[in-house]
């Protein structure tokens, strides 16, 4: 970077359902690390104030940017009510495109809610640009004349993401106007750990409504469960004597976030009213549709395991009118004569859902989180994990908190009061002091495709070939590991290997591979090609003693490769390209 110590650390937490930003000046951090500024977002006419805004984006019919977040939701609602939305493009919850996507490309497309396609890179960069510019306005309100060169930008990413998804976000940020050498990616569970570690105590109201105080002292080994809208990240950390963080196990998790609960509620509404009725409601009055789900979001956060009776929703009058016109039946009468007669009651413009049914919406997501956490603990029994730290927006759900506490009775379950902002605020801290992370555990084995001298005891005949240049039998398709899955590596660790060209006239390219196992051959089912790095062949061909040096750097939030032609001294030093064209 152009500076060793940034004057400002600015973090963008771009989430599946909600996004936000936060920042702090260096002098604030040195005086009080937890003095962090965030924005208050206003959710339209309902006067709801939130520290995050929906990850939605609205474009004009020509594909140019119009608005983001609550502004986008409210404008699109206005357009639909006036029948003026035709041709506009409306995207929401598109971050999940990057989750576990081996086919991710720079040219990948995403669809808006009406099926219109646009470049995913363009949509992501527009969203990040909006948040960056909004953040800069907030900084300039505090201090005029700030040059962006004094800012370290931090972009949060799930720890379970593959390298291609991380690179996609980095390139989208660059397209959004963030300089490459000023951008750092922060893994979300690590950022949350930093935030909680900076607090003298973290508190959480327990199941019996007592308040417990827990200190994260040196030597504490704990599990971080970061539960957002789309994904769940689970990692194991230890606090070292120098107050740095050591990762004990590679991140695991899955797509068990809060949107899973939303999806169950949506399926319930479709069964109740019919898909045609809900679709017409969206077309005629998007605001009513959004308000219904905003109401659900509130209920989702407050429902408790011990809740009984019924959960009350206000139904849009238009919904009931559309239902009657579509089915030629009165909604309340229709419900009384249906399979929902014992679980749903319609009274005027109120819908009362049996609390037991409502709590069922959580089952799949909660079971997914607990299964992943249980698996992580079982594989590390000898580590004696004493605490579980819950962070992320969905972690505020009392249904989820209670289930985790009951399933892990021997663990102290802790969550900060502002669990939904722990990642964002922790990312700001990470920007000021990125060396707080001491080591990480490799999720994958990384290596290169090589040819080895043929050994009949370990190599199959199918890969055997004759190397004329050195007059010997060789075996192709071998995997030469630089680091193995499960290895703990310090941040910034490098591994170097040296190889020689196969033939005098070969166009030298080295295939880079990854695997969740430790494969012997690149053809193993767990192994997949990340890409190939090429070096230009010298005029006259390669000398017999020419060598190519490959260096891989591990332990950071991103994995990099450098290849050097030691004969001529040419180096290819940029981060390895994980994205397909």
Q: Which of 411, 433, 455 is the last residue of a domain?
A: 433
When mean pLDDT is compared over 95-99, 563-567, 572-576, the highest value belongs to 95-99
383 by Cβ neighbours in 10 Å (0-12 / 13-18 / 19+) ranks as middle
d(CA 552, CA 364): 40
Mean pLDDT, the chain, whole residue set: 87
347 by Cβ neighbours in 10 Å (0-12 / 13-18 / 19+) ranks as exposed
pLDDT of residue 301: 82
Residue 44, phi-psi category: left (phi > 0), alpha (psi -120 to 50), beta (remainder): left
Residues in the chain: 581
CATH of the domain at 539: 2.60.34.10
Can you tell me which residue has the tokens 């029994």?
A: 381
- Stretch 273-285: mean pLDDT: 89
d(CA 237, CA 246): 6
At residue 579, the 3 state secondary structure works out as coil
- Reported confidence tier of residue 564, pLDDT bands at 50, 70, 90: confident
Is residue 161 in some structural domain? yes
561 by Cβ neighbours in 10 Å (0-12 / 13-18 / 19+) ranks as buried
- In the DSSP assignment, the letter for residue 29 is H
Segment among 348-357, 383-392, 456-465 with least mean pLDDT: 383-392
Closest CA to 253 of 293, 277, 225, 221: 225
When mean pLDDT is compared over 354-358, 540-544, 552-556, the highest value belongs to 354-358
pLDDT at 164 over 90: no
The model's pTM: 0.87
* 506 contacts 546 by C-beta, under 8 angstroms: no
28 and 115 belong to one structural domain: yes
When mean pLDDT is compared over 122-136, 210-224, 340-354, 401-415, the highest value belongs to 122-136
Residue 569, phi-psi category: left (phi > 0), alpha (psi -120 to 50), beta (remainder): left
* 15 contacts 228 by C-beta, under 8 angstroms: yes
Is residue 408 in some structural domain? no
CA distances from 282 to 201, 278, 287, 291, 397 (A): 46, 6, 8, 11, 27
38 and 167 belong to one structural domain: yes
Is residue 238 in some structural domain? no
344 and 451 belong to one structural domain: no
182 and 262 belong to one structural domain: no
148 and 281 belong to one structural domain: no
298 — phi, psi (to 5°)? -65, -45
Task: Give the domain extent around 268.
Answer: 258-360
* 152 contacts 431 by C-beta, under 8 angstroms: yes
267 and 182 belong to one structural domain: no
Domain count, the chain: 3
Higher per-residue confidence, 115 vs 22:
22
Higher per-residue confidence, 535 vs 40:
40
171 by Cβ neighbours in 10 Å (0-12 / 13-18 / 19+) ranks as middle
* 511 contacts 480 by C-beta, under 8 angstroms: no
pLDDT of residue 47: 55
Residue spans of alpha helices (H) in 100-187: 120-142, 163-175
- Reported confidence tier of residue 223, pLDDT bands at 50, 70, 90: very high
33 and 146 belong to one structural domain: yes
19 and 106 belong to one structural domain: yes
Closest CA to 444 of 497, 512, 496: 512
Residue ranges with strand state E in 197-299: 202-205, 211-214, 221-227, 232-239, 245-254
Percent of the chain with pLDDT over 70: 89
Is residue 43 in some structural domain? yes
- Stretch 213-240: mean pLDDT: 88
Helix axes 258-273, 275-284, angle to 10 degrees: 110
349 and 451 belong to one structural domain: no
pLDDT at 570 over 60: yes
138 — phi, psi (to 5°)? -65, -40
pLDDT at 63 over 50: yes
Closest CA to 414 of 445, 390, 447: 390
Higher per-residue confidence, 128 vs 396:
128
Q: Which of 379, 401, 433 is the last residue of a domain?
A: 433
Q: Residue 322: CB partners within 8 Å, gap ≥ 6?
A: 277, 280, 281, 284
d(CA 342, CA 344): 6
pLDDT of residue 207: 39
- Stretch 471-490: mean pLDDT: 93
- Reported confidence tier of residue 393, pLDDT bands at 50, 70, 90: confident
Is residue 218 in some structural domain? no
27 and 160 belong to one structural domain: yes
Question: Both tokens of residue 536?
Answer: 């230009």
Q: Which of 376, 411, 433 is the last residue of a domain?
A: 433
* 246 contacts 238 by C-beta, under 8 angstroms: yes
CATH of the domain at 39: 3.30.420.40
pLDDT of residue 208: 41
Is residue 178 in some structural domain? yes
- Stretch 506-527: mean pLDDT: 86
pLDDT at 359 over 80: yes
d(CA 224, CA 196): 11
Is residue 370 in some structural domain? no
User: What are the respective helix, strand and coil percentages of the chain, to the nearest 5?
Assistant: 35, 30, 35
Is residue 17 in some structural domain? yes
User: Could you report the per-residue pLDDT of 65-79, keeping only the tens digit for each?
Assistant: 999 999 999 899 888
Segment among 41-50, 149-158, 328-337, 528-537 with least mean pLDDT: 41-50
């Amino acid at each position: 970077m152009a500076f060793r110590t940034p004057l400002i650390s600015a973090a963008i937490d771009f989430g599946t359902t909600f996004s936000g930003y936060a920042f702090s000046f260096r002098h604030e951090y040195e005086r009080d690390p937890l003095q962090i500024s965030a924005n208050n977002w206003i959710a339209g006419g309902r006067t709801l104030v939130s520290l995050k805004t929906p990850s939605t984006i609205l474009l004009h019919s020509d594909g140019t940017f119009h608005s983001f977040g609550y502004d986008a939701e409210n404008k699109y609602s206005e357009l639909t009510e006036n029948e003026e939305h035709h041709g506009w493009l409306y995207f929401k919850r598109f971050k999940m495109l990057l989750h576990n996507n081996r086919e991710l490309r720079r040219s990948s497309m995403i669809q808006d809610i009406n099926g219109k396609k646009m470049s995913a890179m363009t949509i992501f960069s527009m969203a990040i640009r909006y948040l960056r510019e909004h953040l800069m306005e907030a900084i300039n309100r505090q201090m005029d004349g700030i040059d962006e060169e004094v800012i370290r930008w931090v972009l949060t990413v799930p720890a379970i993401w593959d390298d291609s998804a991380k690179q996609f976000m980095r390139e989208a940020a660059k397209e959004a106007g963030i300089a490459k050498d000023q951008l750092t990616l922060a893994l979300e569970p690590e950022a949350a750990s930093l935030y909680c570690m900076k607090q003298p105590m973290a508190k959480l109201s327990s199941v019996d409504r007592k308040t417990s105080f827990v200190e994260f002292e040196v030597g504490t080994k704990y599990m971080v469960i970061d539960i957002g809208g789309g994904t769940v990240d689970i990692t194991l950390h230890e606090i070292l004597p120098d107050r740095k963080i050591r990762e004990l196990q590679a991140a695991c998790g899955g797509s068990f976030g809060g949107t899973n609960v939303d999806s169950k509620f949506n399926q319930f509404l479709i069964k109740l009213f019919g898909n045609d009725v809900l679709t017409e409601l969206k077309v005629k009055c998007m605001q009513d549709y959004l308000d219904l789900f905003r109401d659900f979001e509130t209920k989702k956060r407050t429902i408790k395991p011990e809740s009984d009776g019924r959960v009350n929703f206000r139904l849009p009058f238009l919904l009931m009118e559309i239902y009657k016109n579509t089915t030629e039946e009165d909604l309340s009468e229709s419900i009384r004569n249906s399979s929902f007669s014992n679980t749903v009651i319609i009274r005027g413009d109120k819908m009362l859902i049996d609390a037991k049914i409502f709590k069922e919406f959580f089952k799949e997501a909660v079971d997914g989180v607990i299964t992943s956490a249980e698996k992580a603990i079982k594989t590390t029994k000898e580590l004696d994990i004493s605490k579980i730290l819950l962070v992320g927006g969905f972690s505020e759900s009392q249904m989820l908190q209670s289930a985790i506490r009951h399933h892990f009775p021997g663990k102290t379950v802790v969550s900060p009061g502002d669990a939904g902002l722990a990642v964002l605020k922790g990312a700001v801290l990470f920007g000021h002091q990125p060396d707080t992370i001491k080591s990480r555990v490799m999720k994958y084995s990384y290596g290169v495709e090589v040819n080895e001298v043929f050994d009949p005891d370990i190599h199959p005949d199918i890969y055997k070939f004759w190397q004329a240049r050195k007059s010997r039998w060789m075996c192709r398709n071998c995997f030469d590991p630089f680091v193995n899955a499960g290895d703990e590596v310090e941040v910034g660790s490098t591994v170097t290997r040296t190889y020689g060209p196969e033939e005098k006239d070969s166009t030298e390219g080295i295939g880079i591979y990854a695997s969740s196992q430790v494969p012997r051959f690149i053809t193993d089912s767990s192994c997949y090609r990340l890409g190939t790095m090429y070096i230009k062949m010298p005029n006259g061909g390669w000398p017999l003693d020419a060598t190519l040096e490959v260096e891989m750097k591990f332990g950071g939030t991103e994995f990099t490769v450098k290849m050097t032609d030691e004969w001529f001294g040419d180096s290819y030093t940029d981060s390895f390209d994980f994205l397909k064209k």
